[in-house]
Amino acid sequence: MTGEPADGAVARWTDSHCHIQSMEGAAGILARAGENGVARAVVVGDDEASSRQAVALAGSSAPGDPVELWATVGLHPHEAKNGLEPIRALIEELACPGGLLGQRVVAVGECGLDFHYDHSPRPEQREAFAGQIELAQHYGLALVVHTREAWEETFSILETEGVPERCVFHCFSGGPAEADHCVSLGAMLSFSGIVTFASAGELRKAAAECPLDRMLVETDSPYLTPSPHRGKRNEPGYVPLVGEAIARLRGIPADEVAAATSANAAAVFHLPA
């Protein structure tokens, strides 16, 4: 049946973007995710404190856990007013001998521009974004991009600073035109629970048309819970609902989406084979 695993087996999924370091009951969250076929997750930082928590959580992860974890370190555009130096210092610390950079810490971000809320002044958002692009390039890490109501300027800064070799547009919220531009930059598009919302017509069209080798799936938990669980706290265990919705849009089995998006996550974040 389209949208379901082709052979009845449990598909293995990767949640490419979650914030479980801020959620109570991490052990239960990960156990439920494992039961739902989630094998891997990337825990994302958005300031110094949450980045350190993400690193600690991923650093305690090991093969054989219900869900194996990796982390990112970054400064969200909402937090750009606080300055990039603590993030820069943390990355330098993690890059020291014995540190976790490139092992459990696999990306810079989330970072970018958010002109919807403007919780930080736009000049400071631009400066923090450019600085994190430079950090990703310098340390050979992936870049995780957040953009909201700022597509044109996001593209401009990336093209001016130089798009890192590995780049992810997290919680992709554009339509086919924005998706095409992201793909032309060599980036991955990570789709969230929004793709299950019937009102998100342009986004759903982009998910149907995006090349399968440029696609990731994420929860952005605890936010953006997919249907039919809207109104509840989101968890990595719901990421199969995102992938299954994409499979239905594309008319392919869900396990094909699971396999492709997990392989793409391994490639963009340099996870073990």
Q: How many CA atoms lie within 13 A of 242 on its CB side?
A: 35
Q: Answer whether 0.75 is exceeded by the pTM.
A: yes
> Which structural domain range is residue 201 located in?
13-269
Question: Residues 6 or more apart from 19 whose CB is under 8 A from it?
Answer: 43, 44, 46, 50, 220, 221, 222, 223
pLDDT in tens, 219-231: 999 999 999 999 9
Specify the pLDDT at position 11. 74
Residue 51, in any domain of the structure: yes
pLDDT in tens, 157-200: 999 999 999 999 999 999 999 999 999 999 999 999 999 999 99
Residue 257, in any domain of the structure: yes
Residue 4, in any domain of the structure: no
The whole-number average pLDDT for the span 24-44 is 97
The whole-number average pLDDT for the span 10-37 is 95
Residue 49, in any domain of the structure: yes
pLDDT(141) > 70: yes
CATH number at residue 238: 3.20.20.140
Tally of domains in the chain: 1
Residue 8, in any domain of the structure: no
Specify the pLDDT at position 6. 47
Residue 108, in any domain of the structure: yes
pLDDT(8) > 90: no
Query: How far is C-alpha 75 from the geometric centre of its chain's CA atoms?
Result: 14
Question: Residues 6 or more apart from 5 whose CB is under 8 A from it?
Answer: 11, 253, 254, 255, 258
| Lookup: tokens for 148 | 């909201």
Residue 6, in any domain of the structure: no
Residue 102, in any domain of the structure: yes
CA dist., res. 43 & res. 29, Å (int): 13
- Coil, helix or strand for 171? coil
- Say which residue, 161 or 2, is predicted with more confidence: 161
